Structure 1
Amino acid sequence: MSVIQNVVGRVAVLRGGKYSVEVDVITSDGFGRFAAPIEENPTLHIAEARRAVSEVDEIIGPELIGFDSVEQELIDSYLWEIDGTDDLSHIGANTALAVSVAVAKASANSKAIPLYSYIGGTFTTELPVPILRFASDESFDYYMVVRDLLEITDVVDAVSKVLEAADSITLETLSKASEKVGDELGLEVSLGIGMKMPMGTEEVLALVEDNNVAYIKPLGEEELFLELIAGTHGVFVDGEYLFRTKNILDRRYYNALSIKPINLGTLTDLYNLVNDAKAERITPILSESTYESADEALPHIALGLKCPAIILDWTSIEKINELNRIAEDLGERGRIITFEG
């Protein structure tokens, strides 16, 4: 047994100067730490982070002392019970996630195995393809997609070369640059686009058809998603907007779903959604939140849950480097998942 002996909260500073809660879980033979990311939330000032720390130190921590840290589902269920609401509005999803992941890391530490092995088991050997968010303009966020990469660093090389080759940040210039760089590297280099404003269906279809786009995160009504699925081939249509606004989880509307752990609450909730997506034949893509810490857990979680891809900001070097370390750790057992739409 790896019995929880103490749970400690503190304020953590995230990328962008935002604040969140970091949690330490100390067991009889292990230790885990995780700082929860947050999405854009102007009300989440340091006072809110300090309130979350108080929740951890005064309410959650004392309740969890004595649990065996391997009982992840039981502990995650108990966090919901402690909260007492149907949306974690009392203790907060960021607090629940910080505790949940710290518990998993403590249990993995007690067994002296990597977090990805603890989550996914012995045969967890398929590395997620990194999709790097690398630029934006007023219309789109831009992502780099390399679907036949041999090494994690291939996508970093592609981003660097595309930015060098493009004389401006527009869809057309980045598309041409990505095709040129793909030829230079001998790889299938494509763009991903995340819509930042609504557009007409025909316009969106034309943009995808006329440019080197392999992944799109649309913004609009169900009809747009249906037309994109019907009118494109080999393109990942990300249904995050429909799932978030209308709770639609349906392969007829989209074939991929980017999932930010902070929007779920606990590791168990994340595990359940990933499996629900797979049951619908929708590709689950684990995604960074808007504001993240330097914690290296996300690649481990993506690998452990067998997500074929992971969305990272290309400045998130700690997570990119961790993917490299995991690849080295797996050695010949490891392979990069084939990422096909």
Structure 2
Amino acid sequence: MTLVTDVRLRRVLDSRGNPTVEADVLTESGGFGRAAAPSGASTGEYEAIELPPGEAIANAREHAVPQLEGRVYAGNQREVDAALRGADGTDDFSGIGANSAVAISMAAAKAGADVLGAPLFQHLGGTFRGENFPTPLGNVVGGGEHAADATYIQEFLAAPVGAPNVTDAVFANAAVHAAVADILDERGESCGKGDEGAWAPSIDDAEAFEIVDEATDVVSSDVGFEVGFGLDVAASELYDADAEVYRYGDDEKTTDEQVEYIADLVREYDLVYVEDPLDEDDYEGFADLTERVGEQTLVCGDDLFVTNTERLRTGIDLDAANSILIKPNQIGTLADAFDAVELAVRNGYDPVISHRSGETEDATIAHLAVATDAPFIKTGAVGGERTAKLNELIRIADDAL
């Protein structure tokens, strides 16, 4: 019943107005799934390869579609994803493009769920219980690769860790976003928004810490539960490999100084989450920081691990980080993303499911987070492509009552 009979690919717009790949998968019994690939701006060197959408679509039509139509079953995710890898023929999806691969992979999962008449998270659940709901991390102040003339640290993230349910958590993040705007206005700081809908004022990092700290305190008092915050440092974007220093404008930090700087921030602001605090090749620096603050906060590897089990195994062996960011398009298929989640959980690493800066209305990652019992999900806080995931989390929670 779930035999794939038709795979259709097209270009659609992402949230930055750039083209991306959308896939439709249909089955012999009328099952249907549609999904679109996101795209990152701050990308790790070791990510699967995203091709120009036109090229990715042409290559997938030539090499992947014939291996799927009439040959694989949408209800068997590993079969679908193995066919995609086989059709691509490379380790990094440079053949058909990770953007085509992940769009087809997610669309097939939706088609399989449609045939069963089950929510996607249940179809994806497997041996995972799906009983808990992830805490959303919402980008409220941003800079780095996501916004020009703003903070060096790429993301300041609201983290409603004390929320009693996902609905309250979602609205708390929106409240922090609004509180930040009020504080900026009081300080006479006008600003626009970055790629993920976060405020992007022309302020330095120190002032951003003050503002987000104040905003989360205000919202915590209003809602009656703890709203902390965290960071995505995106340190690979700050690292000058030739000079072996991290550059914050005119300020330079050695690796030891960077570790000390982040550790001090964790202690001063009681940060609950720190993503990519060091360069993507610096396992030792990650291990040093994790030893210092790993019992206080999540030290999360994004560019370090790129949802790749081989890189994650290296990190596990070296005690580098205690958390991994999971981005399906970063590795190419849902099956590969699940493998990274399972390896992480077996070794005491918390998986954090994540959006990208260039997003679509596709809400697959909301279901992935619930299916894998991920403790956190990065979604942003505002904007249609971000609220698509947040509202889907609310619907899933409501349906589970």
TM-score (norm 1): 0.89
Change (3 A) 1:91 1:290: same
Alignment of 1:134-283 (within 5 A): 134-136=140-142, 137-140=150-153, 141-155=155-169, 156-161=171-176, 162-164=179-181, 166-167=183-184, 170-196=208-234, 197=238, 198=246, 199=253, 200=257, 201-217=259-275, 218-220=277-279, 221-232=282-293, 233-244=295-306, 247=311, 248-250=314-316, 252-283=319-350
What's the counterpart of residue 129 of structure 1? 135
Displacement, 1:18?
Answer: 1.5
Q: Does the CA-based 8 Å contact 1:257-1:282 persist in structure 2?
A: yes
What's the counterpart of residue 62 of structure 1? 66
What's the counterpart of residue 104 of structure 2? 99
What is the one-letter code of the residue matched to 1:252? D
Q: Does the CA-based 8 Å contact 2:53-2:99 persist in structure 1?
A: no
Displacement, 1:216?
Answer: 0.8
Change (3 A) 1:58 1:225: closer
Single out whichever of 234-243 and 216-225 deviates more from structure 2.
216-225
Instruction: Report the 3-state secondary structure (helix = DSSP H, G, I; strand = E; otherwise coil) of the residue aligned with 1:241.
Output: coil
CA deviations 1:93-152 (Å, max 9, x no partner) are 111111111111101000110100000049423221111112124222100111121232
Give % identity.
Answer: 29
What's the counterpart of residue 400 of structure 2? 330
Q: Does the CA-based 8 Å contact 1:55-1:91 persist in structure 2?
A: yes
Displacement, 1:227?
Answer: 3.5
User: When the two structures are aligned, how many residues end up with a matched partner?
Assistant: 327
Root mean square deviation, CA, Å: 2.3
Task: List structure 1 segments (4+ residues) > 4 angstroms apart after TM superposition.
Answer: none
Change (3 A) 1:59 1:252: closer
Q: Does the CA-based 8 Å contact 1:84-1:90 persist in structure 2?
A: yes
Q: Does the CA-based 8 Å contact 2:135-2:377 persist in structure 1?
A: yes
Displacement, 1:180?
Answer: 3.5
CA distance in 1, matches of 2:343, 2:95: 26
What's the counterpart of residue 200 of structure 2? none
Instruction: Report the 3-state secondary structure (helix = DSSP H, G, I; strand = E; otherwise coil) of the residue aligned with 1:134.
Output: strand
- 1:300 and 2:401 aligned: no
Single out whichever of 322-331 and 159-168 deviates more from structure 2.
159-168
What's the counterpart of residue 57 of structure 2? 53
Displacement, 1:157?
Answer: 2.6
Instruction: Report the 3-state secondary structure (helix = DSSP H, G, I; strand = E; otherwise coil) of the residue aligned with 2:303.
Output: helix
Structure 2 segments unaligned to the other structure (5+ residues):
44-50, 143-149, 188-206, 239-245, 247-252
CA distance in 2, matches of 1:5, 1:313: 36
Displacement, 1:21?
Answer: 1.0
What's the counterpart of residue 242 of structure 2? none
What's the counterpart of residue 5 of structure 2? 5
Corresponding residue to 1:87 among 89, 92, 96: 92
Corresponding residue to 2:380 among 313, 317, 325: 313
TM-score (norm 2): 0.76
Instruction: Report the 3-state secondary structure (helix = DSSP H, G, I; strand = E; otherwise coil) of the residue aligned with 2:52.
Output: helix
Q: Does the CA-based 8 Å contact 1:94-1:262 persist in structure 2?
A: yes
